[in-house]
Amino acid sequence: MPEFKTPRGMRDFLPKEAAAMKYVEGITRELAMLYGFQEIITPIMESYELLTAKSGEEIRQRMYAFEDLGGRKMGLRPEFTASVARLMATSLRNKPKPIRLFCFGSLYRYDEPQLGRYREFWQSNFETIGSSRPETDVEIIALTNDLFQKVGLRNYWFKIGHVGIIRGILGMEGVKEEDQNRIMQLLDKNLWDDALAVAKALNVSEKCLATLKKVFGIKGEDSDKIIKEVKAAVKNYEKAVSAAENLEEILQLLRGSGVKFDMSIEAGFARGLEYYTGIVFEVSVPELDVSLAGGGRYDRLIELFGGEPTPAVGIAHGIDRITLSMEKQGIQPKIETGRQVMIIFIGDKLKSEALKIASILRSAGIPVELEVMGRAVARALQDADRRGIKHAIILGPKEMEKQEVILRDMTKREQHATKIQNLLKEIEAKRKT
């Protein structure tokens, strides 16, 4: 037999790593509850057409796509937003708005593996559907900030932009949407000169080229100053001005709400996904070259999937990258091992008694492990110690005649005989101390 390996770009999560991921997942679930998001579970594969409709060239090229046995072209989901938009255009179409949906699960992209970039990764994804008001955008940003605060990450910053600024300029110059998408893809990779060259080749005006060049260079932390600069730069392009005003409104509201974090506002910032129509954001930490979360407003996707015109805004948090950043910053996730009690029995005759006691304790919610290796007591205790078990219960024939067992405190290395009927009470009392 060959040596079987984990597929390239994919990982096995051993208990400690799985627990760290579950810890972050737990916090995202807590936030979903606090902000009123309800969980939905969608299929891991969807039709290729749905997944590629507005995802952008990069995701299209990196999809795990295949034909199923029925000859349908399918894809493993590279993100959740397309599935959510499909639901909004179908089953959830007539539900009262707003609708706040939370998804958690694995996604697949044929990315080139590197630190923090995998072919299978996990996201917590939040979408608020039905409102175009700036408070919706602010809440998505605030929720994300809460997540980073709660996991304890330091020095993270938000990059914030608005795709309506560049699209507004290009649209008013008559640049078709597909061509705009090409330019946005280049901006997503910070290839400013290439983006300008494409615009030039599309015969936009000199004024347009000069405006784009100026806009690409506008970035900074002072939101009032940045918005002022953008407005001045795009004054001849009405649509770009209203995009800048929308961004201004959101940033003012954010400031007024008291949510504080480091941010860089970048007028030329675009994201790879094509469906964004408004504000866009990403979160980064100094330890990683890749972003930890990303999202934005997409007001036309649901309509494109055959639904009613429905505004929406959302974000996805990369759980793998958040966990990795915590590790890099030396942040220990709070992990409850659950290792409380080990039951060790001497001689096969006491096997059923051991199982019975295990069952009584578990019914009372106490985690119990049974010694199943047939080890002698000393070896079994050594093993319990190594694995951080707090209490051992030893069943011996002499004690059992008196309906007693030995209860051993593994930390204090003390033990005493106790009646079986008192065992549960004693362990519960010890758990509380």
Q: Which is nearer to ligand HAM, 112 or 336 (CB)?
A: 112
Residue 144 backbone phi and psi in degrees, to 5: -65, -40
Least distance (Å) between residue 221 CB and ligand HAM: 21
Q: Which is nearer to ligand HAM, 64 or 192 (CB)?
A: 64
Q: Quick check: helix, strand or coil at residue 298? A: coil
The sheet carrying 391-395 orders its strands as 368-370, 341-345, 391-395, 404-409, 414-419
Q: Which is nearer to ligand HAM, 109 or 391 (CB)?
A: 109
| Member of 88, 143, 316, 341 binding ligand HAM (CB under 6 A) | 316
| 314 forms part of the interface with ligand HAM (CB under 6 A) | yes
Q: Which is nearer to ligand HAM, 62 or 339 (CB)?
A: 62
Structure token pair of residue 170: 């290009």
Q: Which is nearer to ligand HAM, 80 or 216 (CB)?
A: 80
- Running DSSP on this structure, what letter comes out for residue 349? G
| Member of 278, 296, 307, 333 binding ligand HAM (CB under 6 A) | 296
Q: Output the CA angle 206-268-160, nearest 5 degrees.
A: 160
Q: Which is nearer to ligand HAM, 46 or 371 (CB)?
A: 46
β-sheet bridge partners, residue 82 = none
Binding mask 248-287 for ligand HAM (x = CB under 6 A): -------------------------x--------------
Residues 66-125 interacting with ligand HAM (rule: CB under 6 A): 79-81, 109, 111, 117-118, 121, 123, 125
Q: Which is nearer to ligand HAM, 84 or 240 (CB)?
A: 84
Segment contacting ligand HAM by CB under 6 A, of 169-177, 248-256, 309-317, 405-413? 309-317
| 318 forms part of the interface with ligand HAM (CB under 6 A) | yes
Least distance (Å) between residue 79 CB and ligand HAM: 4
Segment contacting ligand HAM by CB under 6 A, of 45-53, 169-177, 237-245, 318-326? 318-326
Residue type, 202: L
Residue 9 backbone phi and psi in degrees, to 5: 85, 0
Q: Which is nearer to ligand HAM, 127 or 229 (CB)?
A: 127
| 234 forms part of the interface with ligand HAM (CB under 6 A) | no
Least distance (Å) between residue 273 CB and ligand HAM: 6
| Member of 168, 278, 295, 311 binding ligand HAM (CB under 6 A) | 295
Least distance (Å) between residue 290 CB and ligand HAM: 7
- Running DSSP on this structure, what letter comes out for residue 350? G
Q: Report CA torsion sign: 58, 62, 64, 70.
A: positive
Q: Quick check: helix, strand or coil at residue 183? A: helix
CB 92 within 8 A of CB 99: yes
Q: Quick check: helix, strand or coil at residue 194? A: helix
Least distance (Å) between residue 301 CB and ligand HAM: 9
**Region of residue 44 (left: phi > 0; alpha: psi -120 to 50; beta: else):** alpha
| Member of 274, 320, 371, 399 binding ligand HAM (CB under 6 A) | 320
Residue 114: Cβ-neighbour burial (10 angstroms; 0-12, 13-18, 19+): exposed
Q: Which is nearer to ligand HAM, 122 or 345 (CB)?
A: 122
| 145 forms part of the interface with ligand HAM (CB under 6 A) | no
Least distance (Å) between residue 125 CB and ligand HAM: 6
Number of residues that bind ligand HAM (CB under 6 A): 25
Q: How far apart are CA 64 and CA 77, in angstroms?
A: 8
Structure token pair of residue 318: 């990369």
Q: How far apart are CA 178 and CA 60, in angstroms?
A: 14
Q: Which is nearer to ligand HAM, 198 or 319 (CB)?
A: 319
Q: Which is nearer to ligand HAM, 250 or 392 (CB)?
A: 250
Strands 341-345, 391-395: pairing kind: parallel
Least distance (Å) between residue 283 CB and ligand HAM: 7
Closest residue by Cα to residue 284 from 254, 328, 247, 226:
328
| 130 forms part of the interface with ligand HAM (CB under 6 A) | no
Q: Output the CA angle 148-152-155, nearest 5 degrees.
A: 70
Q: Tell me the C-alpha to C-alpha distance, in Å, between residue 182 and each of 188, 209, 269.
A: 10, 16, 14
- Which pairs with CB-CB distance under 8 Å and at least 24 residues apart come from 398-404? 400/350, 400/353
| Member of 292, 342, 361, 393 binding ligand HAM (CB under 6 A) | 292
Q: How far apart are CA 313 and CA 330, in angstroms?
A: 33
Least distance (Å) between residue 321 CB and ligand HAM: 4
Site residues for ligand HAM per CB under 6 A: 79-81, 109, 111, 117-118, 121, 123, 125, 127, 273, 291-296, 298, 314-316, 318, 320-321
